[in-house]
Structure 1
């Protein structure tokens, strides 16, 4: 009887270990699927979006809507830098087919000045004179299949003024909210 009892205990132990392994594999697969297709955490590396988002803020970017809709003007998006592939975060200023112009420190899209309270009075000048820039001339028509992005901290942001428009294929998420630090928690 004791042999049968120990075999039963052994069977249960293996069954418990097997269940644990299955649950662990499912949890890891679900986590990877969420990261790949639904949402992703990001840590903001620079001050180019200050004061909307600051260095070290942790945020969630969602990916689902990008499967159905392109980003629109005003969206804050993450994307792969056209220069080095690093993940950056900036605001969409214009989309394919729109014309961007910089006049006396103000941004114009399709001939209309943008109302940009988030730049906190920082002027928006061309960065075409910087070494390595894409040498953008204004007014500039944003090509279809791309977006024009700029950091809210216009005086400290290498953005489309420097590297040109960003391919829609390079956009990785739309920023939803800051989750850390607690003093910055909020929707974007």
Structure 2
């Protein structure tokens, strides 16, 4: 009888150790999966996508103060009317591409924006007046874009700091999540 009890206790001890080993392996596997998901998330949201919040009403009415912006960082082909996130100095801004490299921008006191001699209006309700510092017509240099905010009377854009270099672009806006009292 003593032999039966000791063999049962040995079997139980082995079973308990196996359970503990399986539990430990399960936790290690879970930690590895969590680390892998965190690494993939980090790469996605630092190298592929950009998530930022709109500050101010530079792009009003298209983008309002506080809206959450998701931008794609790997966009290679940009076209007129794309909205982009860019950096000037240490300030991150939003702007609409209104002229590509080698385009001619003409702003005058009438408030009409002309691109390559053709008046541009689109859906922008605000007039586009020149600001001090640049002479128009302005030829957009190679490797640069001319960006304007939609709320032309209150924004800082290429009329203030000149055409923006491709290196200063942070991403092309692909999604706008509206803030609803948050």
Is TM-score (shorter-chain normalized) higher than 0.5?
yes
Residue segments in structure 1 that go unaligned for 5+ positions in a row: 129-134, 184-188
CA RMSD between the two structures: 1.5
Under a length normalisation based on structure 2, what TM-score does the superposition of the two structures give? 0.87
Matched, 1:21 2:31: yes
The aligned counterpart of 1:80 is: 87
Please give the secondary structure, in 1, of the residue aligned with 2:40. Answer: helix
Q: In the alignment, does 2:72 pair up with 1:62?
A: yes
Query: After superposition, where does 1:151-162 map in structure 2 within 5 Å?
Result: 151-162=149-160
Match of 2:139 among 138, 141, 156: 141
Runs ≥4 in structure 1, deviation > 3 angstroms? none
Instruction: Look up the match of 1:35.
Output: 45
Q: Give the equivalent residue in structure 1 for 2:8.
A: none
Instruction: Work out the CA distance in 1 between the residues paired with 2:137 and 2:153.
Output: 20
Q: Secondary structure at the match of 1:156?
A: coil
Unaligned runs of 5+ in 2: 1-10
After TM superposition, give the deviation of residue 2 of structure 1 in Å.
Answer: 2.3
Could you say what secondary structure the match of 2:46 adopts?
A: helix
Within 2, Cα distance between the matches of 1:179 and 1:62? Answer: 15
Cα separation, 2, equivalents of 1:93 and 1:182? 29
How many residues of Structure 1 are paired with residues of Structure 2 in the alignment? 170
Whose Rg is larger? 2
Give the CA deviation at 1:75: 0.5
Residues 54-87 of structure 1, C-alpha deviations (whole Å, 9 max, x = no match) = 1001121112323xx2x22111001112xx2222
Which of these residues, 89, 92, 97, is aligned with residue 97 of structure 2? Answer: 92
Of 126, 129, 134 in structure 1, the residue corresponding to residue 130 of structure 2 is 126
Residue 48 of structure 1 is matched in structure 2 by 58
Equivalent in the alignment of 1:131:
none
In structure 1, C-alpha distance between the alignment counterparts of 2:137 and 2:20, rounded to whole Å: 76
Secondary structure of the equivalent of 1:154?
coil
Counterpart of 2:166? 168
Supply the distance in 2 between the matched residues of 1:180 and 1:10 (Cα, whole angstroms).
49
Q: Aligned to 1:64, what secondary structure does the other structure show?
A: coil
Whole-angstrom distance in 2 between the partners of 1:180 and 1:38: 22
**In the TM superposition, what is the alpha-carbon distance from 1:99 to its structure 2 partner?**
0.8
